[in-house]
């Protein structure tokens, strides 16, 4: 079974500073990896996904994530935080063996300080 670990439920970042959200996964087969974002009182929407085509994945709103197999990680970054980045971010993993479940991490609530 696949699982995801996201540490630090709340992350504070200054406007203009680097955003770094860590995601480590556990999977017995090559994984599919996703980052979703949830703005207040809304459903989740896809930021980016890794499907083995390239290890550095670019997403919407200036976010990117790098897949590192040796570290079983898929950390999310953005060089310069904007006030509109305040949201909750979820990492999710699924196995490429046809496993039916997408396993979500517990999420990071990002607060942007002006």
Partner 1 sequence: NAGVTQTPKFQVLKTGQSMTLQCAQDMNHNSMYWYRQDPGMGLRLIYYSASEGTTDKGEVPNGYNVSRLNKREFSLRLESAAPSQTSVYFCASSEWPPGHYEQYFGPGTRLTVT
- In the chain, alpha helices (H): none
Q: Which residue's CB is nearer to partner 1, number 40 or number 114?
A: 40
User: What is the radius of gyration, based on Cα positions, of the chain?
Assistant: 14
Whole-number Å distance between alpha carbons of 25 and 75: 10
Stretches 18-26, 62-70, 74-82, 89-97: which one binds partner 1 (CB under 8 A)? Answer: 89-97
Q: Which residue's CB is nearer to partner 1, number 24 or number 94?
A: 94
Stretches 13-21, 44-52, 61-69, 70-78: which one binds partner 1 (CB under 8 A)? Answer: 44-52
- The beta strand positions in the chain, using DSSP E, are 3-5, 10-14, 19-21, 24-26, 31-38, 44-50, 56-58, 64-68, 73-78, 87-95, 103-104, 108-113
According to CB under 8 A, which residues from 49 to 88 bind partner 1? 49, 51
- Site for partner 1 contains 43 (CB under 8 A): yes
Which positions lie near partner 1, rule CB under 8 A? 9, 32, 34, 41-46, 49, 51, 90, 93-96, 98-102, 104-107
């Amino acid at each position: 079974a696949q699982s995801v670990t996201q540490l630090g439920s709340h992350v504070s970042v200054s406007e203009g500073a680097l955003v770094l959200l860590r995601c480590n996964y556990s999977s017995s087969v090559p994984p599919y990896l996703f980052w979703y974002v949830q703005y207040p009182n809304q459903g989740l929407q896809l930021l980016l996904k890794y499907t083995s085509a390239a290890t550095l994945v670019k997403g919407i709103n200036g976010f990117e994530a790098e897949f590192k197999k040796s570290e079983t990680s898929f950390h999310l970054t953005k060089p310069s935080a904007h006030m509109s980045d305040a949201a909750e971010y979820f990492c999710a993993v699924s196995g490429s063996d046809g496993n039916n479940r997408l396993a979500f991490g517990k999420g990071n609530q990002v607060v942007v300080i002006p």
